[in-house]
Structure 1
Amino acid sequence: MQLRKSLALGISSAMLLSVLAACSGNNGNAPASSSPASPAPSSSAAATEEAKDVKLTFFNTSAEVNNVFEDLFKTYHELHPNVTIELIPTPIGGAQLEKFQSLLASGNPATMANLDPGTILQFKDKFLDLESEKAKYEQLTKPGAVEGALLDGKFLGIPWTAQGYGLLYNKRVVEESIGGAFDPSTIKTRSDLAALFEKVQAAGKAPVMIHGADWSLGAHYLALSYSLQSNSVDTNRKFVEDMKNGTVKLSDNPQFTGLMDTFDLLKKYNARSKDPLVADYMKDSTDFAKGEAAFYFMGDWTWAVIGTLEGRDQEFGILPVPISDNSSDFGNNQVAYSEPKLFAIDDSGSSPEQQAAAKAFLEWLVTSEQGQEAIVTKMGLALPYKDVKAKGTNVISDAINTYVDQGNVINIGVINYLPQDYWAKTGASMQKYLANKIDRQGLADEVEAYWKSNAGK
């Protein structure tokens, strides 16, 4: 599991997929088609267009919210009786890519698809270039949202979800430990964090929780070293290419060494240090929410667990993961941020009428009161849009949005260009490091070997 399978929603989205029950739709995979109705009495092109019955299909990889999408399709049909939308459901976490590929191969692609950016990139020639819509969405979305959704420089997918991660904190535990109000802006360096951990431990509480799963360690923690090279996704892609070519030594890279120095600090104060690889996501999230640890390296998707708990604490926030003792270094004041799912429109088998209807529906979905209410309150997701009318309950997303609004984010879009197994293979190496089975040089050697291997190319 990973953020991009999720950020997944998962990276993503992916995490939501691991903890929510499926609500699969009952509709079959009906072919996308459009059938003209009787000619309209008006001779105008607009009247003729309105008179056409258009049938759209929607391929959904966020399977846990299938029923929410189906309700939205019904609402839209009531508003636009000539447009019918049918869900193509997929199972949670399984065979989604294979099903999408089979639809393409059969010549029966879905008109619209909710996909990981990496999947859209993989099949980029099959999707409609939305360049004509780009300026509009740049006005509608928060700064950087459209830029973060670009794939090889093209606007192929409309952003609709936003997720972030870093060091979540339980406000009650932190404030009881320090004996007063906690100002997160005071933690600007690794030394600041270490001093805070000392206070928490001295108060008899566990300073931090590290979730020991490979997706958390490989996709979320270690992969920060690729995104921290610069603000530019292209520059970060070049860094990965240099690793593939064997021209990068991680042990000489300040972002990697700084990140791992911080990881050593997290290891030292890890609440799970006696058994670091158990990786029970539900238990880790629950224990953090109920005050068993002050901090938790995780993302806002964990609200799917925390938000439903009885007897939990109420106030949570997030800190960036500091990578140095220079407060101005990139990463010390920014949280990791991505758009783990995008809406794409088919350009391989859909008619112009279907494409136009799909554009109109997707714009309604992310801007209308009905659409935003469903996404924010029913799906529990954050929208990267300026004018969001709905108010959700995810206080961690709210905390991340503060960083987003200030432009203090790390664009982790480089992961959209990484091979499918990067998080599992390098995550396994991180697990060895967490369990003290290899040292820092051994970790660097294993990660470099992965990127120089065929698996990393």
Structure 2
Amino acid sequence: MKKKLTPFVCLLLVLSMLLTACSQGKQTGATGENPDATEAASKDVKLTFFNTSAEVNAVFENLFKKYHELHPEVTIELIPTPIGGAQLEKFQSLLASGNPATIANLDPGTILQYKDKFLDLDAEKSKYEELTKPGAVEGALLDGKFLGIPWTAQGYGLLYNKRVVEEAIGGTFDPQTIKTRNDLESLFQKIEAAGKAPVMLHGADWSLGAHYLGLTYSLQSNSVDENRKFVEGLKDGTASLADNAPFNGLMDTFDLLKKYNARSKDPLVADYNKDSADFAKGDAAFYFMGDWTWAVIGTLEGRDDEFGIIPVPISNNPEDFGNTQIAYSEPKLLAIDNSGSTEAQQTAAKAFIEWLVTSEEGQNAIVSQMGLSLPYKDVKVKGTNIIADAVTQYVDQSKVLNIGVINYLPQDYWAKTGSSMQKYLVDVIDRKGLIDEVQAYWASQAGK
């Protein structure tokens, strides 16, 4: 005969069952019987991105949001820098605080200066050699090391507004007809006679010091190593600008640009947006600038539709090195921190960068939204940057001037020598005065 349970015993049994269930519930949470949530939490990683391409901060922020949608475990925070601001100082302060950015979009020279702080990407090198156009990875090497992944390429020279040039000459303009300084001057004379300013010369120190005078160091040879030796010669006094043919040829052409400059009445105003807009709308036929100016030109209402680029001729011998080549470089590289980032952050950073340069979303942002060129073989997106397309034609014909020597120059070279170029532009100093100031700068760098 079964014994009947009393109400008290029943209550004990119920309490016992509840306690057991609670115990099992706690055990389930502790041992991870909900593996998805636990695994996601363990893989969550936050990256920071230091950006010196300040004009495209918003584009990068949108990319980070998109990547987070695709990879919820990865969050990327932008560390912006202002256009023309103290970018290097901000980067240095992050290092000094022990809180460096995981990924840094920097000039190659800055990466070289702080090479011990960045991850050696040699294990990634062969992959990117397959993905990029010939020479892209080689051009990104710094002292032989692969420390930064190329993500954009830029070219510069004398941009031209096709409508203005063709109206002045009364026919179709063939850029290949300009092979010498005399060719260029003859064209300028025709443009001036037609009532247009032949050329726009931007008076900022970065344009004059880095882009124009900076050509001096790349015109010595098609070898970056040989060009580095020339710079060392300027430092120790064994090389002189006074008797250097590429430098003097370059400055003779600069005198020509000064003579026909649309901004000759006030050459140091250096309003980048206005200069770019006025060129795009036909107030000047040529503009010493690079394909990056499409970020301004491309969005303008009432601008002209067709633009191109020619090299800066430095002599009257069409065979001279530099007369048929445009300046070309990978001005920014993506480097990964190795001074304070975890292995998980470094792995996530590598994955993001590869996605950025190979995915349709990343390529669309770089090519269409930023208006830049990708030095990659399989670019799925057609860009709208007409000037970048013109640069690509020179690249495909191997008619480019490798300006990689600038990666090894001091961080202040363009500001210091650019100031001297500004004095020369407004005739405060003559050619000898310019040479004296520029050589004095290089002498001050001896032994550094």
TM, length-normalised to structure 2:
0.87
Equivalent of residue 105 in structure 2, options 100, 114, 127: 114
Letter in 2 for 1:293: A
Distance change (3 Å), C-alpha of 1:185 and 1:286: same
Correspondent of 1:181 among 145, 155, 172: 172
Distance 1:173 1:90, change over 3 A: closer
> What corresponds to 1:162 in structure 2?
153
Q: How far did 1:246 drift? A: 1.1
Query: 1:28 maps to which residue?
Result: none
In the other structure, the counterpart of 2:252 is 261
Residue correspondence of structure 1 range 53-72 to structure 2 within 5 A: 53-72=44-63
Say whether the 8 Å CA contact 1:380–1:394 is kept in structure 2. yes
CA 1:293–1:99 in structure 2 vs 1: closer, same or farther (change >3 Å)?
A: closer
Q: Which of these two proteins has the greater Rg computed from alpha carbons?
A: 2
Aligned position for 2:367:
376
Q: Tell me the distance in 2 between the aligned counterparts of 1:358 and 1:65.
A: 19
Q: Give the residue type in structure 2 aligned to 1:243.
A: L
- Identity across aligned pairs (percent)? 81
SS in 1 for 2:432: helix
Structure-2 residue corresponding to 1:230: 221
1:286 aligns with 2:277: yes
**Following TM superposition, by how much is the alpha carbon of 1:409 offset from its aligned partner in structure 2, in angstroms?**
1.2
Q: Which amino acid aligns with 1:427?
A: G
Aligned to 1:143: 134
Give the number of aligned pairs.
416
Choose the corresponding residue for 1:397, options 376, 388, 393: 388
Deviates more, 1:395-404 or 1:54-63: 54-63
Aligned to 2:90: 99
Aligned to 2:342: 351
Q: CA contact under 8 A between 1:142 and 1:405: conserved in structure 2?
A: no
Change (3 A) 1:133 1:214: same
Q: CA deviation at 1:99?
A: 3.1
- Deviation of 1:166 (Å): 0.5
Counterpart among 205, 208, 214 of residue 196 in structure 2: 205
Contact 2:161 2:304 in 1 (8 A): yes
Task: Name the CA distance, whole Å, in 1 between partners of 2:132 and 2:33.
Answer: 38
Moved more, 378-387 or 247-256: 378-387
Report what 2:422 is aligned to: 431
- Answer whether contact 2:151 2:357 (CA < 8 A) is retained: yes
- CA drift of 1:184 comes to 0.6
Decide whether the 8 Å contact of 1:142 with 1:385 is kept in 2. Answer: yes
C-alpha distance in structure 2 between counterparts of 1:259 and 1:63, whole Å: 31
Q: 1:74 aligns with which of 61, 65, 70?
A: 65
CA-CA distance at 1:138 after TM superposition:
1.6
Structure 2: stretches of 5+ with no match in the other structure = 1-30
- From 370, 379, 397, the equivalent of 1:406 is 397
The equivalent residue for 2:210 is 219
Structure 1 residue ranges without an equivalent (≥5): 1-36, 43-47
Give 2:134's aligned amino acid.
P
Q: 1:417 and 1:77 mapped to 2: Cα distance?
A: 36
Q: 1:295 aligns with which of 286, 291, 308?
A: 286
Q: Is the 8 A contact 1:40 1:51 kept in 2?
A: no
How far apart, CA to CA, are the structure 1 residues paired with 2:85 and 2:201?
Answer: 27
Q: TM-score, normalised by structure 1?
A: 0.85
Distance 1:359 1:303, change over 3 A: same
Which residue of structure 2 aligns with residue 419 of structure 1? 410
- Would you tell me which structure has more helix in proportion to its own residues? 2
Q: Which whole-Å CA distance do the structure 2 matches of 1:330 and 1:450 have between them?
A: 26
Tell me the distance in 2 between the aligned counterparts of 1:73 and 1:210: 37
TM superposition shift of 1:282: 2.5
* In structure 2, C-alpha distance between the alignment counterparts of 1:400 and 1:116, rounded to whole Å: 20
Q: What is the RMSD of the two structures over their aligned residues, measured on CA atoms?
A: 2.3
Following TM superposition, the consecutive aligned residue runs of length 4 or more in structure 1 with deviations greater than 6 angstroms are: 39-42, 48-51
Partner residue, 1:126 = 117
Q: Which sits farther off after the overlay, 304-313 or 166-175?
A: 304-313
Q: Deviations over 1:154-210 (max 9, x none)?
A: 110001122211001010011111111111111111122122112222222221121
Q: CA deviation at 1:280?
A: 2.6
Please give the alpha-carbon distance, in whole angstroms, between the structure 1 residues aligned to 2:332 and 2:230.
Answer: 24
Amino acid at match of 1:83: V
**Which string of whole-angstrom CA distances, capped at 9 and with x for unpartnered residues, describes residues 315-370 of structure 1?**
11000001112222211111111212111111122222322221111111100001
C-alpha distance in 2 between matches for 1:62 and 1:108: 21
Q: Which moved more, 1:105-114 or 1:307-316?
A: 105-114
Q: Is 2:296 the partner of 1:305?
A: yes
* Alignment counterpart, residue 264 of structure 2, candidates 253, 264, 273: 273
Superposition deviation, residue 447 in structure 1:
1.2
Report the Cα offset of residue 67 of structure 1: 3.0
